Structure 1
Amino acid sequence: MLLLSFLSTFWLSLLGTSADTTEKVVVRQVAFTGNFRTRERIIRREMDVRAGDTLSYRKLDSLLLYDRRKILNTNLFVTVELRKKPVVDTTQLVYITADGKRIANLKEIDLEVIVKEQWYLLAFPVFQLADRNFNEWWYERGRDLSRTIYGVYALHQNLTGNNDKLRLRAEFGFIPRLDIYYSIPYLDKKQRTGMTIGILRLTNRALAYRTNRDKLTFLTGSEGRTRERIVPYLTITHRPKFYGYHSFSAQYSTTSITDTIAKLNPNYFLNGNKRQNYLQLAYSHFYDRRDRGQYALKGYIYGIYVSKTGILPKDDVNIFETTVDFGQFIPLAKKLFFSYLSEAKFSTPGRQPFLQTRGLGYGGDLVRGYELYVIDGQHYGYVKTNLRYQALNRVFNLSKIIKFRQFNTFPLAIYPNIYADFGYVRNQYPELNNSKLANRLLAGVGVGIDIVSWYNFVGHLNYSVNHLGEARPYFSFGREF
């Protein structure tokens, strides 16, 4: 009993109140501060607590903890604070429970939501590598600066204050690209249904036309265009509650290649074809209960993706694909965290165009330690495990140095970690690309350090060893999942 009493007192001190946690309290009003551009309804959409709610102190503090996380996960704000203010009033409030019991003299509180908005308009020059990742460019392409992309990137992350995004990406150099899209999360009054519409045009001069021994083989020295692709697309999203998302998308792809590519790899579009047209329909659903989408330490996430490529009678592709994801983040101690992320993909038929045959090695779908390899296949699965320690997690106030409110708060977190990854790629035609890594277990282990900072930046510096005995450092940035 003494231990229970001590724990109760300790918990109440963390909540900042000495009141009985079962005592009822009325939320008189909810006010918002700092949302100069963002509309209140966008923030209210993320909150369980509403004006007029009658809750116990314990329930209120629990809901506010989750509400803060959900508001942060909109990626609209640098900081979010939910502040309770007791109301001094002699008026007696009477609460009547479901069984008719009357509770008099209820306390009232006002809730203030204090946010600091990010800088929403981003416009800057683009200079990046054309390869799959930094490690491939550094180790495999001889750090060739001609394999770079330059241009301009402009993004408004909150165009009308409704968390809507407008993006323009115009790139030149190794892979010219033009990408324009507009996205609005909520079209209806209930704030459940949204839309994204856009168009992508991609031109390749140097092109990876096949893989050989699990490495991309490029056609170089071509002065003209080796491939051109145009893809208009439309996505409808539906978010009925807080954590679950549904999306329905349609895109029409038109891609053409030169005679040279078709001769070097007749399987690029299959049968030596030089043109590929298709309509693709896809559905995805994911449920996200992580504490922070940027870099999660607690919670879980799962999702499913289903697509049919080739809907129209004259389409040149006929592929059905399903991908399933699951990840869990588990606090083990005050500063020690464990996580695992898993994904499995299944597709049919077995014989697919090279352009659509995607196994491990693209984007974040890889086993760490194999960043330099592309392992093609119709099916794959992997699991990534991490044990990380929170060496630093602070927010620095730079208001004396930087006057812009969007930049004078500098969050910085550092997590040393160890990891072990496992994966498998099933390729029904490994002889087409002389694959040595398909159809066998892949394993990579290592140590690393993660840095989390401004505007959802996450950097990873790892030192990995794979089953081949290859050991080297790798660098990457972006979310794990």
Structure 2
Amino acid sequence: MLLLAFFTNFWLSFFEPPADTTAKIVVRQVNFTGNFRTRERIIRREMDVRAGDTLTRQKLDSLLEYDRRKILNTNLFVTVELKQKPVVDTTQLVYITADGKRIGNLKEIDLDVIVKEQWYMLAFPVFQLADRNFNEWWYERDRDFSRTIYGVYALHQNLTGNNDRLRLRAEFGFIPRLDIYYSTPYLDKKQRMGLTIGILRITNRTLAYRTNQDKLMFLGSESRTRERIVPYLTITHRPKFYGHHSFSAQYSITSVTDTIARLNPNYFLNGIKRQNYLQLSYSHFYDRRDRGQYALKGFYYGFNISQSGILPKDDVHLSEATLSFGQYVPLAKKLFFSYQTKAKFSTPGKQPFLQIRGLGYGGDLVRGYELYVIDGQHFGYAKTNLRYQLLNRTFNLSKLIKFRQFNTFPLAIYPNIYADFGYSRNQYPELNNSKLANRLLAGGGIGIDFVSWYNFVGHLNYSINHLGEARPYFSFGREF
């Protein structure tokens, strides 16, 4: 009898007609679990699906997956689950629409939003390298441990439960730095307007005062060679889910010693030792990626325009615009392709060394050229990547770790190959004897990426550039 029942159920399930994806479903209520600190309205802000919605099965499933990604992209939670729970004895509900039509035979569900919060208070000692990246310190600075920064970094990522942040960064050693800011994404009841306010102070003893042949030149000193103070204010506007607008103002006050002004009269231009200016900027960013931390599908685009030098007595008058676009395309179940592009334009042609930024700063680089900075008034680059998902698992460590914020350990590993291209346009290459400006740059290689806890991403690459230079490069950090 058991064997007969098994075969009967097997054939019935095999010939069972597919689920009706056009059937209407009513969302009776939405329940939240696991948000001990985060307020419900912060999670609701990321959701298209609301209590009382009537949707087809296909539409509901699609929206719930997008909602799950949006909640996860707040960076407030380790895991997010959206579970549908059928409501019993409601298969023959009759609803009256706004135009008086009767709709019958609707099913009701309750939606459970189950989250596991991160550990929001982070406080740890700082010990890091002062150079642009690990590779420059390793290859160019002879692994000099005097070029280190130490201090304390304290961050609360959800101070009042409203996804607001308070950060304090106090650093000493090679580059003393004090940075404090407070940010709240939602000031109004409609949760559209946000505010960030902060101040940054940096003191340099050893300072990169110019570039020569596309390498930074440093001056070491026991006394202060540069001081910089930058108070700033940013107002954000997020009218819907995916688009962000930002309006920023900052006032920069920077001074250098006579030695810096003499070694590089173009540091501020014309050999001056002090530079003050007001900068205003506007940016827009539209993000439809599945995960901002490490995207596998979707796209984004953005642009920024800024004007440095608003007041009549400002020492800098510089206009700048940047454009960026990226797309992530799944090619197969575990195979993914992506590309990112960015371009920058600025004027006038003669710019202070402190402001001119080409390729090699931050993430604006062609892989294979991590040891170079190619100054330029304009630049553009394209990065391409083909990656394979070797591992993507979440490990339950509750038997070893009792803190709920740490007993879930996600780990993903992606071997990949890549090819990058870039160009930095410099109208005055003779000022720094540049060999890489005004020519096409090409680099590529193989690598492996590790994605884990709290937005940690590590990259281990082996790259080669058009100069024939080939070596391994390593980088890691938190990505948002």
Query: What is the TM-score with the length of structure 2 in the denominator?
Result: 0.95
2:464 match: 465
- C-alpha distance in 1 between matches for 2:210 and 2:479: 27
1:429 match: 428
Q: Is the contact made by 1:179 and 1:199 (CA closer than 8 Å) also made in structure 2?
A: yes
Q: Is the contact made by 1:378 and 1:427 (CA closer than 8 Å) also made in structure 2?
A: yes
Superposition deviation, residue 272 in structure 1: 0.3
1:222-281 Cα offsets, whole Å, 9 max, x none, are 111000000000000000000000000000000000000000000000000000000000
Q: Which moved more, 1:199-208 or 1:97-106?
A: 97-106
1:332-372 Cα offsets, whole Å, 9 max, x none, are 00000000000000000000000000000001100000000
- Map 1:38-187 → 2, pairs under 5 A: 38-89=38-89, 92-96=92-96, 101-187=101-187
Superposition deviation, residue 18 in structure 1: 6.5
Q: Is the contact made by 2:90 and 2:107 (CA closer than 8 Å) also made in structure 1?
A: no
Superposition deviation, residue 19 in structure 1: 4.0
1:7 match: none
- C-alpha distance in 1 between matches for 2:124 and 2:478: 21
SS across alignment from 2:374 = coil
1:4 match: none
2:218 match: 218
Q: Is the contact made by 1:394 and 1:412 (CA closer than 8 Å) also made in structure 2?
A: yes
1:245 match: 244
Q: Aligned AA for 1:188?
A: D
Residue ranges of structure 2 left out of the alignment (5+ in a row): 1-12
1:448 match: 447
1:3 match: none
Q: Aligned AA for 1:382?
A: Y
Moved over 4 A (4+): 96-101, 478-481
Asked if 1:363 corresponds to 2:338, the answer is no
1:102-133 Cα offsets, whole Å, 9 max, x none, are 22131110000000000000000000000000
2:198 match: 198
- C-alpha distance in 2 between matches for 1:115 and 1:244: 24
1:5 match: none
Q: Is the contact made by 1:395 and 1:412 (CA closer than 8 Å) also made in structure 2?
A: yes
SS across alignment from 1:199 = strand
Q: Aligned AA for 1:182?
A: Y
SS across alignment from 1:66 = helix
Query: What is the TM-score with the length of structure 1 in the denominator?
Result: 0.95
SS across alignment from 1:181 = strand
- C-alpha distance in 1 between matches for 2:90 and 2:240: 38
SS across alignment from 1:342 = strand
2:387 match: 388
SS across alignment from 1:228 = strand
2:303 match: 304
Q: Is the contact made by 1:295 and 1:479 (CA closer than 8 Å) also made in structure 2?
A: no
2:37 match: 37
Q: Is the contact made by 1:80 and 1:114 (CA closer than 8 Å) also made in structure 2?
A: yes
- C-alpha distance in 2 between matches for 1:328 and 1:428: 32
Asked if 1:274 corresponds to 2:261, the answer is no
SS across alignment from 2:296 = coil
Q: Aligned AA for 2:251?
A: Y
Q: Is the contact made by 2:24 and 2:57 (CA closer than 8 Å) also made in structure 1?
A: yes
SS across alignment from 1:64 = helix
Q: Is the contact made by 2:298 and 2:328 (CA closer than 8 Å) also made in structure 1?
A: yes
1:39-83 Cα offsets, whole Å, 9 max, x none, are 000000000000000111111000000000000000000000000
Q: Is the contact made by 2:318 and 2:348 (CA closer than 8 Å) also made in structure 1?
A: yes
Q: Is the contact made by 2:204 and 2:227 (CA closer than 8 Å) also made in structure 1?
A: yes
- Map 1:290-369 → 2, pairs under 5 A: 290-369=289-368
Q: Aligned AA for 2:229?
A: I
1:475 match: 474
SS across alignment from 1:144 = coil
- C-alpha distance in 2 between matches for 1:229 and 1:247: 24
Q: Is the contact made by 2:412 and 2:450 (CA closer than 8 Å) also made in structure 1?
A: yes
Q: Aligned AA for 1:105?
A: N
Q: Is the contact made by 2:91 and 2:108 (CA closer than 8 Å) also made in structure 1?
A: no
Q: Aligned AA for 1:145?
A: F
Q: Is the contact made by 1:364 and 1:480 (CA closer than 8 Å) also made in structure 2?
A: no
Q: Aligned AA for 1:353?
A: P
SS across alignment from 2:37 = coil
1:400-441 Cα offsets, whole Å, 9 max, x none, are 000000000000000000000000000000000000000000
Superposition deviation, residue 396 in structure 1: 0.3
Residue ranges of structure 1 left out of the alignment (5+ in a row): 1-12
1:214–1:104: structure 2 CA closer, same or farther, 3 Å change rule? Answer: same
- C-alpha distance in 2 between matches for 1:95 and 1:254: 65
1:378 match: 377
Q: Which moved more, 1:286-295 or 1:103-112?
A: 103-112
SS across alignment from 2:299 = strand
1:424-469 Cα offsets, whole Å, 9 max, x none, are 0000000000000000000001000000000000110000000000
- C-alpha distance in 1 between matches for 2:326 and 2:90: 51
Q: Is the contact made by 2:455 and 2:479 (CA closer than 8 Å) also made in structure 1?
A: no
Superposition deviation, residue 88 in structure 1: 1.1
Superposition deviation, residue 101 in structure 1: 4.2
Asked if 1:419 corresponds to 2:413, the answer is no
- C-alpha distance in 2 between matches for 1:369 and 1:146: 26
1:364–1:201: structure 2 CA closer, same or farther, 3 Å change rule? Answer: same
- C-alpha distance in 2 between matches for 1:42 and 1:352: 43
1:90–1:78: structure 2 CA closer, same or farther, 3 Å change rule? Answer: closer
Q: Which moved more, 1:427-436 or 1:101-110?
A: 101-110
Asked if 1:283 corresponds to 2:282, the answer is yes
- C-alpha distance in 1 between matches for 2:18 and 2:174: 63
- C-alpha distance in 2 between matches for 1:253 and 1:214: 26
SS across alignment from 2:32 = strand
What is the number of equivalent residue pairs in this alignment? 465
- C-alpha distance in 2 between matches for 1:216 and 1:55: 59
Task: State the percentage of identical aligned residues.
Answer: 87
